[in-house]
Structure formats: structure tokens, C-alpha cells
């Protein structure tokens, strides 16, 4: 299973792809993803069996990508993503109050 960058269409194995996730936003339930090839930044939501891209409008995403076997577990300050037997953790970047 290779997962494409929606900007440059480079394709990544799950390890390279999910290692490029950062900054889990629990409120919006989104993680930031930075393409290792082109540097494009996307916000995505990890869903069971798929990834949702862009900010959801009325429950719909700009794009959905099927990733069979994808699972997630939401923690307070981190998101655990698992696929097959591999697991990645995306930490929440703590924001200073303005």
C-alpha cells in the first residue's frame, strides 16, 4: 500500500508517510502532514480504513483516501495510528496562550 502526496503525487510507504505527520489537533481531530518530497502541508484526519483531507465542511472532506486496515486511537495529547502491525504516534504541539 502506497499513499500519495495530493500535491506532487509522490507515493510513500506507510512508514515514511505516517512518520511525516506532526501536531495532532485534538479539537479539530486533524494531524498536519508535510510531504518529504515537495514540502506541501496538508491537514488530514485519520479514520478507520481511510484518510480524510482538508477541513471538513458539513461532515464532508475535500478528499478521502482508502487505506485498508488503518486504525487510530485518540489520546489527550497524542494520536496513535496503526496499520497492520506498525504503529506511529503523533504528538500534540502545546500552544502557548496568547
Q: List interacting residues with Zn ion (CB under 5 A).
A: 5, 7-8, 35, 37-38, 40
Q: Is 92 exposed, middle or buried (0-12, 13-18, 19+ CB in 10 A)?
A: middle
Rounded CA-CA distance 60/37 in Å is 28
Rounded CA-CA distance 98/90 in Å is 24
Nearer to Zn ion (CB atom), residue 34 or residue 92:
34
Nearer to Zn ion (CB atom), residue 37 or residue 78:
37
**Residue 50 Cβ, how far from Zn ion at the closest point, in Å?**
19
Nearer to Zn ion (CB atom), residue 17 or residue 88:
17
**Residue 77 Cβ, how far from Zn ion at the closest point, in Å?**
28
Amino acid at each position: 500500500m502506497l499513499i500519495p502526496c495530493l500535491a506532487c503525487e509522490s507515493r510513500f510507504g506507510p512508514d515514511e508517510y505516517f512518520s511525516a505527520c506532526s501536531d495532532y489537533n485534538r479539537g479539530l481531530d486533524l494531524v498536519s502532514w508535510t510531504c518529504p518530497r515537495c514540502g506541501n502541508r496538508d491537514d488530514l484526519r485519520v479514520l478507520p480504513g481511510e484518510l480524510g483531507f482538508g477541513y471538513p465542511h458539513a461532515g464532508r472532506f475535500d478528499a478521502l483516501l482508502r487505506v485498508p486496515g488503518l486504525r487510530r486511537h485518540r489520546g489527550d495529547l497524542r494520536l496513535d495510528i496503526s496499520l497492520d502491525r506498525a504503529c506511529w504516534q503523533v504528538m500534540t504541539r502545546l500552544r502557548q496562550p496568547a
